[in-house]
């Protein structure tokens, strides 16, 4: 197959490389030997078309350092690319973001699959000003209904989106995220820090709650640190600025880490926390589970798989007090941490990137017009 993946994230972009980018890289590097794959990504200063980590990248947009301007240009120019070159591909996978509605389905006769990681719902109004939140919310409500082929990352997101789709659907499948097999064989250590490993996005990821909870906990656990890692969408320094000096000294930002550094950071944590207000199917939680790390998550539906599969605890979404209580429970109970970690490693073994890539490949073959 000749596959075009439309996704704004790319490795090395100053605008971030999160779960969607990791998913694309992990799946397509496993399929690149059998298929011709092109990733159509958002341009950034210095971005050049060509291979990145073995995958062909084409950049559309402008080299502006303004994120809103870059998104606007990317949306328009990626749509133009599809109109001009769409017929050269057997299938197009459009990664849905409410800020980038490409209308690919109406620009080419090539089958277009809308891949939906997650949705923000009303959170967009609490995160962005009305100039951005209103059109984003409208796109999220109505844009998926223009399509008839879907790939979702979780059953929860599929249920939320499909209730708004009134037209005929020819294809709809849930293909989750995964982990690398090597993580299952890595020996975990019971370190001295709580780890947050995701995009530093205060509202979406609930980092305001985490900072408040750590401030409450720090006097009780003077030897425990808090480490944050991931793309810095929100300012780390602003996030911790209100902490008491004693607690602030024990909070650090590890930056955006990958490869062996990422594995080391995860495997040496005492526990991993993700207090998100909305989510999809986080790669970081699966990786933490694969490394036998207990996790704490908010009780939103998208993260319900954690307590349901007994490899972590949940707390009431939006409650810093509830988060502090759960953190304290795990910090002082080594036996519970070990048991949750054991359960997590067993769970993560069901979600290997090798298997996910085959599911993805089969889905694209079913929905494309490939001539055998």
pLDDT tens track, the chain, 372 positions: 999 999 999 988 888 888 899 999 999 999 999 999 999 999 999 999 999 989 999 999 999 888 889 999 999 999 999 999 999 999 999 999 888 899 999 999 999 999 999 887 777 777 777 777 888 888 888 999 999 999 999 999 999 999 989 889 999 999 999 999 999 999 999 999 999 999 999 999 999 999 999 999 999 999 999 999 998 989 999 999 989 999 999 999 999 998 899 999 999 999 999 999 989 889 999 999 999 999 999 999 999 999 999 999 999 999 999 999 999 999 999 999 999 999 999 999 999 999 999 999 999 998 865 433
Which residues, including other chains, have CB under 8 Å from residue 7's CB and lie 6 or more apart? 20, 21, 24, 39, 40, 41, 95
Which residues, including other chains, have CB under 8 Å from residue 234's CB and lie 6 or more apart? 200, 201, 202, 207
- pLDDT, residue 15, reads 84
- pLDDT, residue 367, reads 82
Tokens, residue 173: 């499948």
51 closest CA partner among 62, 34, 36:
36
Which residues, including other chains, have CB under 8 Å from residue 186's CB and lie 6 or more apart? 263, 267, 291
- pLDDT, residue 121, reads 77
CA distance 256 to 232: 8
For residue 245, the tally of other CB atoms under 10 A from its CB is 6
- pLDDT, residue 372, reads 38
- pLDDT, residue 189, reads 94
Helix-helix angle 19-31:353-367, to 10 degrees: 80
* Unique residue bearing structure tokens 């490949």: 361
- pLDDT, residue 369, reads 53
Domain with CATH 3.40.50.2000 in the chain: 2-178+352-367, 181-348
Backbone conformation region of residue 58, classed left if phi is above 0, alpha if psi is from -120 to 50, else beta: beta
- pLDDT, residue 254, reads 96
Concatenated DSSP letters of 285-303? HHHHHHTT--EEEE--GGG
pTM, entire model: 0.91
CA distance 282 to 274: 9
Concatenated DSSP letters of 130-187? HHHHHHHHHHHHHGGGG-SEEEES-HHHHHHHHTT--S--SEEEE----B-GGGGGSP
CA contacts within 13 A on the Cβ side of 75? 14
What stretches of the chain adopt beta strand conformation (E)? Answer: 2-6, 36-42, 50-52, 55-60, 91-95, 112-116, 149-152, 171-174, 193-197, 225-229, 251-255, 271-274, 295-298, 312-315
Residue 322 contacts residue 210 (beta carbons within 8 Å): no
CATH superfamily of 181-348: Glycogen Phosphorylase B; (3.40.50.2000)
CATH superfamily of 2-178+352-367: Glycogen Phosphorylase B; (3.40.50.2000)
């Amino acid at each position: 197959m000749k596959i075009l993946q439309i996704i704004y994230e790319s490795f090395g972009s100053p605008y971030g490389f999160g779960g969607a980018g990791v998913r694309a890289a992990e799946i397509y590097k496993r399929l690149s030997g059998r298929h011709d794959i092109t990733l159509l990504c958002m341009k950034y200063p210095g971005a050049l078309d060509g291979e990145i980590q073995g995958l062909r990248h084409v950049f559309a947009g402008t080299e502006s350092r303004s994120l809103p301007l870059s998104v606007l240009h990317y949306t328009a120019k990626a749509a133009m690319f599809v109109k001009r070159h769409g017929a050269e591909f057997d299938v197009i996978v459009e990664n849905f973001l409410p800020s980038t509605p490409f209308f690919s389905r109406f620009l080419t006769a090539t089958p277009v699959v809308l891949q939906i990681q997650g949705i923000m719902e009303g959170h967009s109004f609490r995160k962005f000003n009305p100039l951005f939140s209103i059109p984003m919310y409208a796109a999220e409500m109505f844009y998926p209904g223009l399509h008839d082929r879907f790939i979702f990352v979780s059953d929860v997101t599929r249920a939320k989106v499909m209730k708004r789709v009134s037209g005929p659907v020819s294809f709809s499948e849930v293909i989750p995220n995964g982990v690398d097999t090597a993580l299952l064989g890595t020996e975990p250590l019971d370190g001295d820090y709580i780890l947050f490993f995701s995009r530093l996005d205060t509202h979406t990821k609930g980092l305001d709650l985490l900072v408040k909870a750590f401030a409450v906990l720090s006097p009780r656990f003077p030897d425990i640190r808090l480490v944050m890692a991931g793309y810095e969408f929100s300012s780390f320094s602003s996030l911790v600025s209100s902490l008491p000096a004693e607690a602030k000294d024990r909070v650090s930002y590890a930056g955006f880490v990958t490869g062996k550094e990422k594995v080391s950071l995860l495997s040496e944590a005492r526990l991993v926390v993700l207090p998100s207000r909305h989510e999809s199917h986080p790669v970081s939680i699966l990786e933490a589970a694969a490394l036998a790390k207990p996790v704490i998550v908010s009780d939103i539906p998208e993260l319900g798989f954690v307590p349901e599969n007994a490899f972590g605890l949940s707390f009431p979404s939006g409650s810093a007090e509830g988060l502090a209580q759960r953190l304290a429970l795990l910090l002082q109970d080594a036996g519970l941490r070990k048991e949750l970690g054991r359960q997590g490693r067993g769970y993560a073994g069901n979600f290997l990137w090798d298997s996910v890539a085959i599911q993805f490949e089969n889905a694209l073959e079913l929905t494309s017009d490939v001539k055998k």
